[in-house]
Structure 1
Amino acid sequence: MAQHQIRTVQCLSPSGLHRMAYKEWGDPKNPRVLVCVHGVTRVSDDFDNMATALCDRYRVVCPDVVGRGRSDRLQNPQHYQVPQYVSDMVTLLARLDAESVHWFGTSMGGLIGMGLASLKDSPVRKLVLNDVGPALNPAALARIGDYVGKDVRFATFDEAARYIRDISLPFGPHSEEEWRKLAADALKQDSDGKWILHYDPGLAVPIKATTPEMMQHAEAMLWMAYDAISCPTLLVRGAQSDLLTPEVAHAMTARGPKARLVEIPGVGHAPTFLREDQIAIVREFLLQ
């Protein structure tokens, strides 16, 4: 696997300062920057294979969104929301001295990318949205919300890995080695030697506080953001996704940046891009 470095950048929330960690691959002087951002309970290590495959062409930067992985936890969990994450990414791009970037975002990482790409004078020149859009199926959100914030602890890694596999089955078929990597990336040991999830359970606080009225307002705002995007956009959908419906995906091809849609058969929410056939979809779009 290609060499990478782990760095941190100091960011600001209304409650104070926090550090955001990021993995960096490739030549740090390469002006071609690809930022890859993970889903709500995942981490930067999800992109190890993609970064290895693309770091000959890009400086690949994969942050741990605050509250996950190697990054700090927020003092006030109510701030675990997209506007805070977009603000943190602006700080990260300033640290990188990146005037323009290509963006790959899975689920939550795609929402962050949409928020950033919609802004006037945005640095995002190409955008890949992995199984996410402005309108999200409430039943799927409820499924994800059901396990976010659970304070689960396991005596052995194998027991914890089975749990990760069970909640991640919509990712689609993977080898035993791939499942173990997906588990190892999302787990850590606590001071008692128990295996726990590698994120702040406080992520659930704003999710649980969301009302149907708030969801409607958020969806309207996200469509406004999507319609403001002007850069070339690729939308990848797991053909069996319960989060991004076919109707929303096709609407996204007809408005805003009129995303190019690619569906991956046999996969739900969300494609992991661990394998070369999936990585090739991104490579072709970004480098064409």
Structure 2
Amino acid sequence: MSAFENRYWSNDGLKLHYRDYAGDPAVAPVICLPGLTRNARDFHDLACRIDGSRRVLAVNLRGRGGSEYARDPQSYQPACYVRDLQALIDDQALDRFVVIGTSLGGIVAMLLAGAGAPVAGAVLNDVGPDLEPAGLSRIRSYVGRGSSFPTWMHAARAVWETNAEVYPDWQIADWLAMAKRLYRLTSAGRIVLDYDLKIAEPFKLPPPDTPPDMWGALAALSGKPVLVVRGERSDVLSQRTASRMADALGTAELVTVPRVGHAPTLAEPEVVPAIDRLLAAAR
């Protein structure tokens, strides 16, 4: 299934990119939001599975993929991503949508709901209102560190070295596919990370005096179809937090993916039918 490469403008003048997969205009579309260092390519297989039954907008957050890099690296923060998404919602005149967010994308999804966006349902992939310090420390250890490779196999090996404990059952084809989602080929023939390395800058700041009320943001999804996905080996979303999320929402479904860490790809056999159930409920 092919996608149109579309763009819109942020409120601070950045040209931002999303992949637009056509679908039934009478059904609420899906907005897909990737993780911190990820991009819209992570959702291509999911969009192909949906296969025209509804529109899919796979977003590149600012500084990732085809979206422009921010002039101010301190804008690489969830509140700014929410404003960017609100600009997209207005640009496309979306009166309701389902949001699928992985890691950082799930944080943005909760904040969107908390800000009153017309969210009809949500998939929160390996993220919640409380994040585990061990996982955050691991992410800080690699985000913003540049790398360059002469071949895709070299890049795949680097991805394996970083993520072997996350996906212990993967084979070389899986690592190669992940490398091609995470990296891009430059005009000089080198393979580099497909994001602005300055997205790491906000991590150097002290935490805000008044952090956002993430449990309050999650509560805005009460009464709507919600799927919470957790990797069994996740060091970001604990089982305790995932269970608390499901209990707090009442109608949420919790799916745990065995032998996977942070974060599931959403192509796992436990997850695919769960997403189908959520989309059916959000029609």
TM-score w.r.t. structure 1 length? 0.90
Structure 1 residues 142 and 162: CA distance shift in structure 2, 3 A? same
Structure 1 residues 277 and 221: CA distance shift in structure 2, 3 A? closer
Q: What letter is aligned with 2:143? A: V
Q: What letter is aligned with 2:51? A: C
Residue 262 (structure 1) shift:
1.1
- For residues 95-106 of structure 1, the aligned pairs below 5 Å read 95-106=91-102
Partner of 1:37 in structure 2?
Answer: 33
Q: Secondary structure at the match of 1:39?
A: coil
Residue 4 (1) aligns with residue 3 (2): yes
Deviation string, structure 1 residues 18-40 (Cα, Å, up to 9, x no partner)? 11111111237444201111111
Partner of 2:138 in structure 1?
Answer: 143
CA distance in 2, matches of 1:28, 1:57: 5
Give the counterpart of 2:86 among 86, 90, 93: 90
CA distance in 2, matches of 1:189, 1:52: 24
- Which sits farther off after the overlay, 275-284 or 182-191? 275-284
Q: Secondary structure at the match of 1:129?
A: strand
Q: Secondary structure at the match of 1:52?
A: helix
Residue 77 (1) aligns with residue 34 (2): no
- For residues 125-140 of structure 1, the aligned pairs below 5 Å read 125-140=120-135
Partner of 2:275 in structure 1?
Answer: 282
Residue 179 (structure 1) shift:
2.2
Q: What letter is aligned with 1:133? A: G
CA distance in 2, matches of 1:172, 1:68: 27
Partner of 2:215 in structure 1?
Answer: 223
CA distance in 2, matches of 1:257, 1:269: 24
Is the Cα contact below 8 Å between 2:18 and 2:57 reproduced in 1?
yes
- Which sits farther off after the overlay, 43-52 or 278-287? 278-287
Partner of 1:254 in structure 2?
Answer: 247
Structure 1 residues 276 and 95: CA distance shift in structure 2, 3 A? farther
CA distance in 2, matches of 1:22, 1:167: 27
- For residues 36-185 of structure 1, the aligned pairs below 5 Å read 36-120=32-116, 122-169=117-164, 170-171=166-167, 173-185=169-181
Is the Cα contact below 8 Å between 2:17 and 2:66 reproduced in 1?
yes
Residue 199 (structure 1) shift:
0.3
Q: Secondary structure at the match of 2:128?
A: coil
Structure 1: 4+ residue segments shifted above 4 A: none
Q: Secondary structure at the match of 1:272?
A: coil
Deviation string, structure 1 residues 117-156 (Cα, Å, up to 9, x no partner)? 1123x21010110000011011110101111000222233
RMSD: 1.9
Q: Secondary structure at the match of 1:255?
A: helix
Residue 171 (structure 1) shift:
4.2
TM-score w.r.t. structure 2 length? 0.92
Is the Cα contact below 8 Å between 1:106 and 1:131 reproduced in 2?
yes
Q: Secondary structure at the match of 2:10?
A: strand
Identical pairs, percent: 32
CA distance in 2, matches of 1:246, 1:277: 17
Is the Cα contact below 8 Å between 1:69 and 1:198 reproduced in 2?
yes
Structure 2 gap ranges (5+):
none
Residue 160 (structure 1) shift:
1.6
Residue 274 (structure 1) shift:
3.2
Residue 197 (1) aligns with residue 193 (2): yes
